Structure 1
Amino acid sequence: MKLTKTRNGPNTIDTLRREMDHFFDDLVPFSWNREQSGRSLGTWTPNADITENEERYQVMMDMPGMDKNDIKVSYHDGRVSITGERKSEEKDEKDDFIRQERYYGSFYRSFMLPEKVKEDDIKASFEDGVLKVMIPKAEVVKPKSIEVS
């Protein structure tokens, strides 16, 4: 009969990942804290998906409860920046929170793009609490072959 050693608790990879998260959280005092979903700072940061194909980059961010007038998208030197603020709702003074998981306040997200883009053709739309930013890629200048005579 073969005996195997079992562990109660996280494996080595999980421990390493947690330690690396703590290391980077200590380096940047206002960074996203994965274990507490950013709540240790009383702030929130919307999640983002970034995709790419041959023609464009696309950034999609979930921002439930926000108004499109409270969101700003900018592009400068190869970096797309998205800022905004989710405003708190009016609270009835008679009601006490039993649990509060929704966070309010301002946020800032910035993404560096690896290639040139058509700055004037960047489009952003906001629908059903989702921001979609379409960033078309610039035409790549291909090297011209010169025939030697």
Structure 2
Amino acid sequence: MKMMKREEPRAIDMLRKEMDHFFDDLVPFSWKKENGGSDLRMWSPSVDISEDENEYLIKMDIPGMDKKDINVNYRDGRLTVIGERKTESKEEKKDYIRQERYRGSFYRSFTLTDNIKDEEIQASFKDGVLKLVVPKAETVKPKSIKVN
């Protein structure tokens, strides 16, 4: 393993980092309705998609939700996941300094190939992870015809 010399941060990099922190702290307040903006109610959960010869596997991180608040649909080659993370009861005595946990509705949609078994799609939800298993259909192999 090659050792790398650690360089001191440049002034411009430090300034950029400070500006990022400034705007990160500013934006959540400036988008609130009482400041003339509109609340950002849509969010998008992180997804991992993998594939092998038998199936597609989609894992979506949506912690803090109940499975009754998640809706999975398949129609016209498109797999759609819609849900809503409910807002917890708010304590009026608390002023939030920073709120990074998203609340509200989300929508994720995936276009699938034609070679899937749509009637065998499975969805399970455990420990805040939605797992979708999409089995692949048998591909039609060309049939060799002997010429007599």
- Determine the structure 2 residue equivalent to 1:148: 147
Output the TM-score relative to the length of structure 1. Answer: 0.71
The CA deviation at 1:114 is 2.7
Residue identity opposite 2:72 in structure 1: V
1:127 is the counterpart of 2:129? no
Equivalent residues of 1:82, 1:109 under 8 A apart:
yes
Residue 140 of structure 2 aligns to a residue whose secondary structure is coil
Equivalent residues of 1:59, 1:132 under 8 A apart:
yes
- Determine the structure 1 residue equivalent to 2:75: 76
Residue identity opposite 1:80 in structure 2: L
In structure 2, how many angstroms separate the alpha carbons of the residues matched to 1:80 and 1:136? 13
In structure 1, how many angstroms separate the alpha carbons of the residues matched to 2:97 and 2:142? 65
CA RMSD of aligned residues (A): 2.1
The CA deviation at 1:9 is 6.7
Output the TM-score relative to the length of structure 2. Answer: 0.71
User: Which residues of 2 match residues 29-48 of structure 1 at below 5 A?
Assistant: 42=40, 43-48=42-47
Same amino acid, percent of matched pairs: 57
How many pairs were matched up? 116
Residue identity opposite 2:50 in structure 1: T
Residue identity opposite 1:145 in structure 2: S
1:67 is the counterpart of 2:66? yes
The CA deviation at 1:76 is 1.3
In structure 2, how many angstroms separate the alpha carbons of the residues matched to 1:127 and 1:144? 43
1:53 is the counterpart of 2:56? no
Q: 1:115 to 1:9 in 2, by over 3 A?
A: farther
Residue 69 of structure 1 aligns to a residue whose secondary structure is helix
Residue 68 of structure 2 aligns to a residue whose secondary structure is helix
Q: 1:8 to 1:137 in 2, by over 3 A?
A: farther
Q: Deviations over 1:80-125 (max 9, x none)?
A: 1111000000011222212211121111100112342111110000
Residue identity opposite 1:105 in structure 2: G
Structure 2 unaligned runs (5+)?
Answer: 1-9, 14-23, 32-38
1:136 is the counterpart of 2:135? yes
Structure 1 unaligned runs (5+)?
Answer: 1-6, 11-35
In structure 2, how many angstroms separate the alpha carbons of the residues matched to 1:85 and 1:66? 8
Q: Deviations over 1:4-47 (max 9, x none)?
A: xxx9879xxxxxxxxxxxxxxxxxxxxxxxxx7xx776232101
Q: 1:8 to 1:140 in 2, by over 3 A?
A: farther
